[in-house]
């Protein structure tokens, strides 16, 4: 087990991050963009909503991420009959000790995979809200702190919408990024098939091949380094202007709130660190604008009827917002 080696300098942090990136990419083939965005969310201490059809390696990605920092991995398959206590845990009366014992739920972990989160009713979805925002879980009125680092990766399937409960705006806003996971390129898929079928019996890739490169205790340090990445006033201004422009943009029924501006800067910091820089440029902000904002805006009915997609509308918006003025 990798001991906590105290990531202190930004250079050291960059080195660890690059190694994490490489380790994950060894197992998760052909999804470099997704890996980067998930790493950004981890560094920025945010949660990710992953949208993609089944079978593109979402679970594998989370397992690989957990493995590379030896974090605890928890998984909940959301179903219509899932109860909030199935997520958080519950109190159990112990006959021997004649006391209530707290049985902690799967949310007590470092990386929580909430599979098909939109299949559970709003009550259960809301159980995640507290732990996502407050980093604490209340069972029977008693708050328990969540593990650190804590990150939720929720998935939803864009195709099967029947019998689903769309996530409420409040919960959507709590996800830092919405990552779209798509089919891999032909060459990548060939590599994937070769990797899965050679010398393996099961259909899934094993994450055992991943060497842990940081300890779970290092992650908060990495997050602290990320939070110290230098951001110029002009870049702050740029991020805020993007979020504000979405509120008046003609294609959107409602735009992104202040959480979007915050997420833009936090994610841009992570992007800069991932890119090996200690300062944020407007390009960082622009490159993360789509995953940060796509779930925080809603298209107007007319635009939806015209067949415009959220990403296209956001691209149009970004073309109109002036890059920072110095």
Partner 1 sequence: MDLDKISVEVRPRNPYEAMDLGFVMARRWLRPLLLLWLVPALPLMGLSYLVFHQQPLWALLFVWWLKPLLESIQLSYIAERLFDEQVDWRGHLRRAHRIALHQWFAKLVTQRLAFSRSFNMPVGELEGLAGTQRNQRLNTLHRGAGSPSLWLTLVGHSIEGLIVVAVFGGAWMLVPVEMDIDFSVETILNSPLLFPTITLAGFAAMTITAPFYVCAGFMLYINRRTWLEAWDIELTFRQLTRNHLARGQSLVMVLLLGALLAPLSGPAEARTQPAESRQAIAEILEGDEFHQLQQESSWRWKQEPPDPTTEDEQTLLQRLGEWLVDKLGDFGLGVDPGPVARILLAVLEVALWGLVVALVVYLVLRFRSVGLPRGSSPPADSPSPPSHLFGMALQQSSLPEDVVGEARALWQQQQYRAALSLLYRAALSFLVHERQLPLTSSHTEQECLQLCLQRESPQRGDYLRRLTRHWVILAYAHQPLTEAEFDALCADWCRFLQPEDTAS
Least distance (Å) between residue 320 CB and partner 1: 6
CB of 156 closer than 8 Å to CB of 117: yes
Question: Which residue, 79 or 316, is less far from partner 1 as judged by CB?
Answer: 316
Q: How far is the CB of 260 from partner 1 (least distance, A)?
A: 18
Q: Does 12 bind partner 1 (CB under 8 A)?
A: no
What DSSP string describes 105-155? Answer: -TTSSSEEEEETGGGS-HHHHHHHHHHHHHSEEEETTEEEEPPSS-EEEEE
Quote the CA–CA distance of 114 and 59 in Å, as a whole number: 10
Does the footprint of partner 1 cover residue 278 (CB under 8 A)? yes
User: In this chain, which of 280, 292, 297, 299 binds partner 1, going by CB under 8 A?
Assistant: 280
State how far the Cα of 230 lies from the Cα of 314, in Å rounded to an integer: 26
Which CB atom, from 154 or from 235, has the smaller least distance to partner 1? 235
The verdict on 106 binding partner 1 (CB under 8 A) reads no
Instruction: Please identify, among the stretches 52-60, 86-94, 184-192, 278-286, the one whose residues bind partner 1 according to the rule CB under 8 A.
Output: 278-286
User: Candidates 54-62, 257-265, 273-281, 294-302 — which segment interacts with partner 1 by CB under 8 A?
Assistant: 273-281
Rule CB under 8 A: is residue 282 a binding residue for partner 1? Answer: yes
What are the residues facing 104 on neighbouring strands?
89
Helix (H) or strand (E) holding 179: strand 177-180
User: How far is the C-alpha of 12 from the C-alpha of 185, rounded, in Å?
Assistant: 33
Say whether residue 283 binds partner 1 (CB under 8 A): yes
Quick one: which segment of 19-27, 102-110, 180-188, 318-326 binds partner 1 (CB under 8 A)? 318-326
Q: Does 230 bind partner 1 (CB under 8 A)?
A: yes
Q: How far is CA 24 from the centre of its chain?
A: 15
Verify cis geometry, omega within 30 degrees of 0, for the bond prior to 149: yes
Closest distance of CB 249 from partner 1, Å: 13
308: contact with partner 1 by CB under 8 A: no
**211 within 8 A of 23, measured Cβ to Cβ:** yes
What residue ranges bind partner 1 (CB under 8 A)?
A: 230, 232, 234-235, 277-283, 286, 318-326
């Amino acid at each position: 087990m990798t001991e906590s080696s105290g990531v202190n300098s930004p250079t050291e942090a960059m080195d660890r991050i690059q190694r994490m990136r490489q380790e994950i990419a060894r197992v998760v083939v052909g999804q470099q963009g997704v890996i980067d965005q998930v790493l950004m969310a981890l560094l920025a201490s945010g949660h990710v909503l992953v949208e993609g059809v089944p079978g593109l390696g979402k679970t594998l990605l989370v397992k690989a991420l957990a493995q590379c920092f030896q974090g605890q991995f928890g998984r909940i398959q959301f179903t219509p009959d899932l109860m909030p206590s199935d997520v958080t845990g519950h109190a159990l009366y112990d006959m021997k000790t004649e006391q209530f014992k707290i049985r902690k739920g799967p949310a007590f972990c470092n990386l929580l995979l909430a599979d098909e989160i939109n299949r559970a009713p709003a009550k259960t979805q809301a159980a995640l809200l507290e732990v996502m925002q407050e980093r604490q879980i209340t069972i029977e009125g008693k708050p328990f702190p969540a593990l650190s680092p804590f990150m939720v990766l929720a998935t939803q399937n864009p195709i099967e919408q029947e019998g689903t409960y769309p996530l409420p705006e409040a919960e959507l806003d709590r996800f830092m990024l919405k990552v779209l996971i798509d089919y891999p390129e032909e060459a990548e898929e060939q590599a994937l098939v070769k990797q899965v079928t050679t010398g393996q019996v099961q259909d899934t890739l094993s994450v055992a091949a991943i060497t842990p490169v940081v300890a779970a205790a290092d992650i908060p340090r990495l997050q602290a380094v990320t939070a110290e990445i230098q951001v110029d006033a002009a870049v702050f201004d740029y991020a805020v202007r993007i979020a504000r422009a979405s509120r008046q943009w003609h294609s959107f029924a409602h735009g992104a709130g202040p959480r979007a501006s915050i997420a833009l800067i936090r994610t841009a910091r992570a992007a800069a660190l991932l890119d090996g820089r200690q300062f944020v440029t407007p390009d960082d902000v622009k490159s993360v604008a789509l995953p940060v904002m796509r779930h925080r805006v809603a298209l107007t009915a007319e635009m939806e009827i015209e067949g415009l997609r959220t990403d296209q509308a956001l691209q149009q918006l970004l073309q109109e917002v002036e890059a920072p003025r110095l």
